[in-house]
Structure 1
């Protein structure tokens, strides 16, 4: 593994431990490619935290889109994640449009615009997390189309929705709302109360509906599991953590605006290891 891939792996270990552990459970010959993809995802998903206003964030996202389209602003070799990503794209003949769509979708993160509706949230999750799972399947399938779009689509939505509910305290603190407006309106949730950190029965009802949507997508993943090649399972391993996170979110006394739904590192490793030894439909 080159130093570019070493750097990518370290970035993933630091900022995306679940995917890092999942990649370690993948076939050795494909781990570097997975780390490059996950490092790229980490870079674009953290931009909001690294800039003080949207415009510099848009510039960073545009840099990645230009790189993927073949228009470099300076040599990619100066950026080890970019270098590792380009090498991975070439090795596995990855569909660049999926990577570009991931970067484009992250523009939403830079602003405090409300998520308009559930369909919009599913679209956002599809372009960000589902796209990443699909690309991971390309890597694990040796660069050939793995025909896993359906399973990856539902898996990404389930994982993303769970992550956004877990991150609600952080997002609310900066007045950013990923919970769909139509769901909030349906349950009478006033966003300003969420931003003030005020939990309410209305918010609990909205989050309960969201957890129901997560479980719906989990069922759809299991229904489509038969179409997923066995060697692509590592791309779906983070999904095995979703039931445990949902359990934390539903625990008695849990405050969705003050508590973080977390499980220990040891338990995460055990869940992922156990899932790696089971069929996908039993994740």
Structure 2
């Protein structure tokens, strides 16, 4: 099989994985220019694979071994070596095609290590440092041709908004596995009963703490919107996943929503429509 055919097969595998595990980002990538779409899907597939490591790992050592494999795959790709993983090979092809910085990919791997041990962040600052996921946005924008400092600053806000949202969306599974990914200082200030929370019991104090975190996500989203005019128009497709942050947060604020039990869902057609509208307007 020729190298061109290999690359196409790897791109299809990456696209299939994103479509299965991260449909919102898959739909967002459809609105990127054809030349950059495989790179975006490779990045999103890589991100999904890292998240999958956290989701299925029960022992930190096993997770560290898997993350070490990803570090090696990224570093070996610098020498043009095949890894045997379609997603890793598609990612390395994207790095070469768009001159993406491998150190940012390695930072994505390293950011997952603390989560393997399940330690709770002490305060909001530590929480933000753990969950902020700007690298995906920054690398996607770079693949679309915008590497400016203003776009990197926007990516920081985008990563914080989406990072808070994804942490809250995953809260039921995190608590079920004995993990508490929320800032302890905030929970203590609100008077949250940690043992009751561990049993899946919802209290007014916990609702108040989660409302504060949703407000933080909303504020980060607004700061991104204040910066988006400085993002090159051809690179704004990198930020289309943010089109769903506000509706997801709104769904979580519903009185009937149980944040320790329910998985927040939105109508698939409505999700696609919001992404389509943001792409058509070229702003969020």
Bin of the TM-score, shorter chain as denominator length? over 0.9
SS at match of 1:25: coil
Q: Distance in 2 between matches of 1:119 and 1:172?
A: 21
Contact kept in structure 2, 1:166 and 1:261, CA below 8 Å: yes
User: Number of aligned pairs?
Assistant: 275
Q: For the residues of structure 2 that align with 1:202 and 1:272, how far apart are their CA atoms?
A: 34
What is the TM-score with the length of structure 1 in the denominator? 0.92
8 Å Cα contact 1:5-1:84 kept in structure 2: yes
Task: Measure the CA separation in 2 of the matches of 1:182 and 1:214.
Answer: 18
Shift of 1:70: 3.3
The 8 Å contact of residues 130 and 156 in structure 1, kept in 2 or not, is answered as: yes
Q: Which residue of 2 aligns with 1:145?
A: 147
**Cα distance change of structure 1 residues 166 and 49 upon mapping to structure 2, 3 Å threshold:** closer
How much does 1:25 deviate? 1.2
8 Å Cα contact 2:172-2:263 kept in structure 1:
yes
- Once residues 259 and 235 of structure 1 are traced to their aligned partners in structure 2, the CA distance between those partners, rounded to angstroms, is 29
Equivalent pair of 1:12/1:38 in contact (CA under 8 Å) = yes
Q: Deviations for 1:4-55, whole angstroms, at most 9, x for unmatched residues?
A: 1110110111101110000011111111010111111111111023333111
Contact 2:169 2:264 in 1 (8 A): yes
**Higher mean C-alpha deviation, range 199-208 or range 247-256:** 247-256
C-alpha displacement at 1:191, in angstroms? 2.6
> In structure 1, which of residues 30, 43, 55 is the aligned counterpart of residue 36 of structure 2?
30
Give the Cα–Cα distance (whole angstroms) in 2 for the partners of residues 105 and 191 of structure 1.
26
Gaps spanning 5+ residues in structure 2: where?
1-6
What is the TM-score when the length of structure 2 is the normalising length?
Answer: 0.92
- Tell me which of 179, 193, 213 is aligned to 1:190: 193
Are residues 238 and 71 of structure 1, via their aligned partners in 2, closer, same or farther at CA, if it must alter by over 3 Å?
closer
**Contact 2:118-2:181 at 8 Å conserved across structures:** no
Q: Aligned ranges for residues 185-224 of structure 1 at < 5 Å?
A: 185-224=188-227
The equivalent of 2:258 in structure 1 is: 255
Q: Give the match for residue 87 of structure 1.
A: 93
Give, in angstroms, the shift of residue 247 of structure 1: 1.1
In 2: Cα distance, 1:211 partner to 1:92 partner: 35
The residue matched to 2:76 in structure 1 has which SS?
A: coil
1:46 aligned residue (48, 52, 69): 52
SS at match of 2:32: coil
The aligned residue for residue 70 of structure 1 is: 76
Among 109, 114, 118, the residue aligned to 1:108: 114
Residues 1:267 and 2:273 aligned together? no
Deviation at 1:176, TM superposition (A): 1.1
Query: Is 1:229 the counterpart of 2:232 in the alignment?
Result: yes
5+ residue gaps in structure 1? none
Structure 2 contact 77–89 (Cα < 8 Å) conserved = no
